[in-house]
C-alpha cells in the first residue's frame, strides 16, 4: 500500500515536532526515516499508525484519506522500540492476540489461528519457545516476536520504531539482514525509524533524512550519500570536514584550491561551505602544489581496518580529519607532531545563504 503524507504539522505544547512534512512512501518498499533524536521521525511514524493526530495536513493510504481513522481500522503493524509485548501472555498468545480480538463474525476458528501462529513462529525461527513469557526471552527474540505479532493480522503496512535500537551490535547486524530478507519475501510496504546511518544505508530501499521536524532529503541511500542536498545531510551521513569557501560564477575557491561548481553558475562572490569526507582527504609528506594545505598531526587513531588522523591546519588552527587505509598508513608512516600536507578531493560546495549550520 502506498502512503502519502501532505503538509503535516504537529506541536507538542510549544515544541514544533513536525513542520509541513510531505513525503510519499511507495508501495512495497522498505523506507528508512533517518535523523538525529528530536528530528520528528518517530512522531511521523506514530501519525502514520494513528497513534498521534496531526494538527493539520492529511495522510492518505492508497489515495484514501485516513487522517482521522483510529489505529485499529488502519490495518498497520507497529513494532515498538521496546517491543511492548504483553508481559502476562506467552509468546503464542502474544502473536495470536490480533487474531483473537477480531469480532466474532470475522474471527478465524481456533485451528486456523493455531496454524497461523505456528507458521509465524517458524518464520521468526522460534518454534520451540511458544510457551515462554516475554521476560524469559533475550532482546533479539523479543524483537522477532513483536514482529510476528504485528504480521499476524496481515497488515498492509509495517511500521517499525527504532527496531534494533535496544540490541547489542552483533544481534543488531543479524536482525538487520534478517529484516531485509523478510521484506524481500513478503513485500509489505515498510517504514522504519532509525538514527543509525549505517543501518538505514544498509537496509532501506529509500531513505528520508529528517532534521528539526523537516524533511531534508529523500532518495535511494546511495544517491543521498553521494549527492547530499545540504551541509546537514552531508554531515549527518558521515563525518565531514567543512571548509570556508567563496563561490563566484561557477568557480569555488576552497582553502586556496579552485573547484568547478557548475550548479552555482549564477552565484556572485558568495560565501559558501565546502565539505570533504575524511577518506577524500589525501595526505602527503611533500607540498605538491600551491593547493596543498599545511597541517600538523595531532592524534593518530587506528580503528580496525582504518587509521584516523586528526590534523591541525598550520594557517588557522582548524581541525581536519583524514582516514587512511592500513596500507596507506604503512607507506606514509606519520608520527604525532609531524608537519604534513593535505589535499581535499570530491568537495561538495553549498552556498551559505541557502543553508545555515
**Contacting range for other proteins; rule: CB under 8 A; set: 67-75, 115-123, 274-282, 288-296:** 67-75
Nearer CB in complex with other proteins: 97/355: 97
CA 168 to chain centroid: 18
Task: Compute the distance between CA of residue 16 and CA of residue 11 in angstroms, rounded to an integer.
Answer: 5
Instruction: At 219, give phi and psi (nearest 5°).
Output: 165, 180
C-alpha cell at 222: 546511495
Residue 213 binds other proteins, judged by CB under 8 A: no
Compose the 75-114 pattern: x for residues touching other proteins by CB under 8 A, - for all others: -xxx-x-x-xxxxx--------xx--xx------------
Task: Compute the distance between CA of residue 189 and CA of residue 154 in angstroms, rounded to an integer.
Answer: 12
**Contacting range for other proteins; rule: CB under 8 A; set: 29-37, 72-80, 216-224, 269-277:** 72-80
Nearer CB in complex with other proteins: 85/215: 85
Residue 67 binds other proteins, judged by CB under 8 A: no
First to last CA, the chain: 37
Q: Compute the least distance from the CB of residue 304 to other proteins, in Å.
A: 27
Q: Compute the least distance from the CB of residue 314 to other proteins, in Å.
A: 54
Residue 153 binds other proteins, judged by CB under 8 A: yes
C-alpha cell at 219: 532518495
Q: Are strands 3-12 and 56-61 parallel, antiparallel or unpaired?
A: antiparallel
Residue 53 binds other proteins, judged by CB under 8 A: no
Q: Please identify which residue in 3, 150, 175, 204 interacts with other proteins, judged by CB under 8 A.
A: 150
Would you say 326 and 307 are in contact if contact means Cβ atoms under 8 Å apart? yes
Residue 70 binds other proteins, judged by CB under 8 A: yes
Residue 125 binds other proteins, judged by CB under 8 A: no
Q: Compute the least distance from the CB of residue 244 to other proteins, in Å.
A: 47
**Contacting range for other proteins; rule: CB under 8 A; set: 21-29, 65-73, 275-283, 285-293:** 65-73
Q: Compute the least distance from the CB of residue 6 to other proteins, in Å.
A: 22
Q: Compute the least distance from the CB of residue 141 to other proteins, in Å.
A: 8
Compose the 10-49 pattern: x for residues touching other proteins by CB under 8 A, - for all others: ---------------------------------------x
Q: Compute the least distance from the CB of residue 51 to other proteins, in Å.
A: 6
Nearer CB in complex with other proteins: 5/211: 5
| Region for 262 from its dihedrals, namely left if φ exceeds 0, alpha if ψ lies in -120 to 50, beta otherwise | alpha
Q: Please identify which residue in 71, 219, 238, 250 interacts with other proteins, judged by CB under 8 A.
A: 71
Residue 126 binds other proteins, judged by CB under 8 A: no
Nearer CB in complex with other proteins: 128/304: 128
Q: What is the dihedral of CA 146, 176, 211, 308, to 10 degrees?
A: 140
Nearer CB in complex with other proteins: 150/245: 150
* Count of residues of this chain found to bind other proteins when the rule CB under 8 A is applied: 31
Residue 171 binds other proteins, judged by CB under 8 A: no
Q: Are strands 15-25 and 281-284 parallel, antiparallel or unpaired?
A: unpaired
Residues binding other proteins (CB under 8 A): 49-51, 70-72, 74, 76-78, 80, 82, 84-88, 97-98, 101-102, 132-133, 135-138, 149-150, 152-153
Amino acid at each position: 500500500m502506498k502512503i502519502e503524507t501532505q503538509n503535516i504539522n504537529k506541536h507538542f505544547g510549544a515544541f514544533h515536532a513536525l513542520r509541513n512534512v510531505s513525503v510519499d512512501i511507495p508501495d512495497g518498499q522498505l523506507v528508512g526515516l533517518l535523523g538525529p533524536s528530536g528530528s520528528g521521525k518517530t512522531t511521523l511514524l506514530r501519525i502514520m499508525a494513528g497513534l498521534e493526530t496531526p494538527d493539520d495536513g492529511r495522510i492518505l493510504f492508497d489515495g484514501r484519506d485516513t487522517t482521522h481513522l483510529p489505529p485499529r481500522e488502519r490495518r498497520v503493524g507497529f513494532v515498538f522500540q521496546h517491543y511492548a509485548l504483553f508481559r502476562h501472555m506467552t509468546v503464542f498468545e502474544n502473536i495470536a492476540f490480533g487474531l483473537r480480538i477480531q469480532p466474532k463474525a470475522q474471527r478465524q476458528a481456533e485451528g486456523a489461528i493455531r496454524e497461523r501462529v505456528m507458521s509465524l513462529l517458524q518464520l521468526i525461527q522460534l518454534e520451540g519457545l511458544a510457551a515462554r513469557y516475554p521476560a524469559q526471552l533475550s532482546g533479539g527474540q523479543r524483537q522477532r516476536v513483536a514482529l510476528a505479532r504485528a504480521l499476524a493480522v496481515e497488515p498492509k503496512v509495517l511500521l517499525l520504531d527504532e527496531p534494533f535500537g535496544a540490541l547489542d551490535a552483533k544481534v543488531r547486524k543479524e536482525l538487520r539482514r534478517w529484516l531485509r530478507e523478510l521484506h524481500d519475501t513478503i513485500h509489505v510496504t515498510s517504514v522504519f525509524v532509525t538514527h543509525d546511518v549505517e543501518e538505514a544505508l544498509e537496509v532501506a530501499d529509500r531513505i528520508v533524512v529528517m532534521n528539526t521536524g523537516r524533511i531534508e532529503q529523500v532518495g535511494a541511500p546511495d544517491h543521498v550519500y553521494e549527492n547530499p542536498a545540504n551541509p546537514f545531510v552531508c554531515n549527518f551521513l558521515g563525518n565531514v570536514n567543512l571548509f570556508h569557501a567563496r563561490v563566484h560564477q561557477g568557480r569555488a575557491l576552497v582553502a586556496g584550491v579552485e573547484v568547478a561548481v557548475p550548479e552555482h553558475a549564477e552565484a556572485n562572490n558568495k560565501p559558501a561551505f565546502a565539505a570533504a569526507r575524511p577518506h577524500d582527504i589525501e595526505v602527503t609528506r611533500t607540498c605538491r602544489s600551491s593547493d596543498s594545505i599545511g597541517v600538523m598531526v595531532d592524534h593518530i587513531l587506528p580503528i580496525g581496518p582504518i587509521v584516523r588522523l586528526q590534523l591541525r591546519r598550520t594557517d588557522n588552527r582548524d581541525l581536519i580529519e583524514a582516514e587512511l587505509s592500513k596500507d596507506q598508513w604503512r607507506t606514509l608512516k606519520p608520527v604525532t607532531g609531524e608537519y604534513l600536507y593535505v589535499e581535499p578531493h570530491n568537495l561538495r560546495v553549498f552556498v551559505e545563504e541557502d543553508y545555515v549550520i
